[in-house]
């Protein structure tokens, strides 16, 4: 699904997660109306970020394919039992022609295994009740159990990513750092923009700017521990958001990073870009890096929330 299709099932997103249904749903991220727009941004997925769905985001079509296979194992893991949303940028990836390495059907089936139903509705020897009224007697405890499942998903995602790497030669984890070893400033991205950002980071390195990049693959649960370690010591951070959070201070990813870095001294700048499918170009990302480098040098921030590429 995508865009309005996802928005129309808002209520059921919460129902699926609360009932611990191990659903895998692929979302081709597209803008929400109105005005009517069919092109890419992350408004749909970010609107669902608090629904207790695990979220994986792909940079390219290979990652989109690999994420779906891993998501089945993640969702059905006994410590998780939560739905997984695998995201790929609408049109940019969903309608792209790229080189793709595909596993044999037998390999995929062996990797995901057989589905093991827990408390099946049609097990007449062990009757169960679905959808009962759940008031203040137990509702709070059930919500707390979802929190615990989300926390357990951290290790499960890493373990399954490593296992998938042994099968395919493409291991996966929660975040992907690039040139962060000696970085003084960091660029945070997710989705297909990571490819363009990587080229921009290389170009700015050649100009002497010590910039690194972190691609967030798993947005939910948010990889707090890994990001805290990687960002420790950087002087300034540029956070790229392909959606806005109207009425809030900056976009969704920006808000998460500010929470992660609350005990650090780094200045954090938000760049909202690409709404409704507007292209993000290398020179625009280089502009964001240049501005962030200036903040790192002077310690002064002109504008915390910026709109990159808007007229």
How much of the chain exceeds pLDDT 90, in percent?
96
pLDDT tops 90 at residue 7: yes
Are residues 50 and 21 part of one domain? yes
Q: Are residues 304 and 194 in the same domain?
A: yes
Q: How far apart are CA 41 and CA 277, in angstroms?
A: 6
Say how many C-beta atoms besides its own lie within 10 A of residue 298's C-beta.
11
The helix or strand, by DSSP H or E, that contains position 189, with its residue range, turns out to be: strand 185-189
- What SS3 state is found at 265? coil
CA 69, 13, 17 angle in degrees (round to 5)? 70
CA distance 213 to 77: 31
For the stretch 193-202, what's the b/e string if a residue is b when 16 or more beta carbons lie within 10 angstroms of its beta carbon? Answer: bbebbbebbe
Residues 190 and 120 in one domain: no
| Global pTM value | 0.97
Whether 293 and 49 have beta carbons less than 8 Å apart is answered as no
Residues 190 and 304 both lie in one domain: yes
User: Which of 111, 138, 168 is the last residue in one of the domains?
Assistant: 168
Q: Which contiguous run of DSSP H or E holds residue 187?
A: strand 185-189
| Cα distance between residue 57 and residue 219, in whole Å | 7
Q: Are residues 50 and 19 in the same domain?
A: yes
Per-residue b or e along 238-254, where b marks 16 or more CB atoms closer than 10 Å to that residue's CB: bbbbbbbbeeeebbbbb
**Residues 180 and 300 occupy one common structural domain:** yes
Q: Measuring CA to CA, how many Å separate 259 from each of 20, 70, 161, 234, 263?
A: 28, 28, 26, 16, 9
C-alpha to C-alpha distance for 197 and 204, rounded to whole angstroms: 10
Q: What is the pLDDT of residues 254-305, one digit of tens each?
A: 999 999 999 999 999 999 999 999 999 999 999 999 999 999 999 999 999 9
Tokens of 310: 């808007």
Cβ–Cβ contacts within 10 Å for residue 41, how many? 27
For the record, the structure tokens of 239 come out as 């956070």
Q: Which one of 168, 193, 214 terminates a domain?
A: 168
- Indicate the number of domains in the chain: 2
**20: containing domain:** 3-168
The pLDDT of residue 308: 98
Report pLDDT for 242. 99
Same domain, 19 and 157: yes
Average pLDDT of the residues of the chain: 97
| CATH at residue 290 | 3.40.50.920
**Interatomic CA distance for residues 92 and 277, integer angstroms:** 8
User: Each residue of 69-109: pLDDT tens digit?
Assistant: 999 999 999 999 999 999 999 999 999 999 999 999 999 99
My answer on whether 216 and 147 are in the same domain is no
Query: pLDDT-based confidence at 203, cuts 50/70/90?
Result: very high
Q: Are residues 28 and 159 in the same domain?
A: yes
pLDDT at 3: 98
Domain check: are 15 and 121 in the same one?
A: yes
Distance CA(181)–CA(60), nearest Å, equals 24
Last residue of a domain, one of 168, 183, 203: 168
Q: Are 133 and 199 in a shared domain?
A: no
Residues 11 and 108 in one domain: yes
């Amino acid at each position: 699904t995508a865009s309005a299709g996802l928005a129309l099932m808002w209520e059921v997103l919460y129902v699926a997660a609360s009932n611990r249904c191990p659903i895998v749903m692929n979302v081709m991220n597209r803008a929400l109306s109105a005005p009517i727009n069919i092109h890419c941004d992350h408004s749909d997925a970010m609107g669902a970020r608090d629904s207790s769905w695990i979220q994986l985001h792909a940079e390219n079509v290979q990652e989109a394919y690999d994420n779906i296979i891993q998501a089945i194992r993640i969702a059905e893991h006994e410590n998780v039992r939560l739905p997984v949303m695998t995201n790929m940028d609408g049109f940019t990836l969903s309608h792209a022609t790229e080189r793709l390495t595909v596993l044999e059907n037998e390999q995929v089936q062996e990797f995901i295994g057989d589905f093991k139903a827990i408390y099946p509705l049609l097990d007449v020897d062990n009757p169960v009740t679905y959808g009962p009224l759940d008031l203040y007697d137990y509702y709070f405890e059930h919500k707390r159990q979802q929190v615990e499942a989300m926390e357990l998903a951290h290790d499960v995602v890493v373990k399954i990513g490593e296992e998938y790497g042994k099968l395919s030669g493409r291991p996966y984890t929660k975040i992907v750092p690039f040139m962060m070893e000696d970085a003084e400033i960091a660029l945070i991205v997710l989705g297909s923009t990571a490819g363009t950002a990587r080229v921009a980071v290389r170009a700015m390195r050649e100009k002497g700017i010590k910039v690194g990049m972190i691609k967030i693959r798993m947005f939910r649960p948010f990889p707090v521990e890994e990001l805290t370690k990687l960002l420790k010591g950087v002087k300034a951070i540029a956070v790229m958001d392909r959606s806005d959070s109207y009425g809030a201070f900056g976009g969704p990813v920006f808000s998460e990073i500010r929470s992660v870095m609350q005990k650090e001294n780094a200045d954090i700048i938000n760049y909202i870009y690409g709404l409704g499918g507007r292209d993000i170009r290398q020179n625009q990302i280089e502009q964001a890096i240049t501005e962030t480098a200036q903040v790192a040098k002077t310690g002064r921030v002109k504008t915390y929330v910026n709109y990159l590429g808007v007229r």
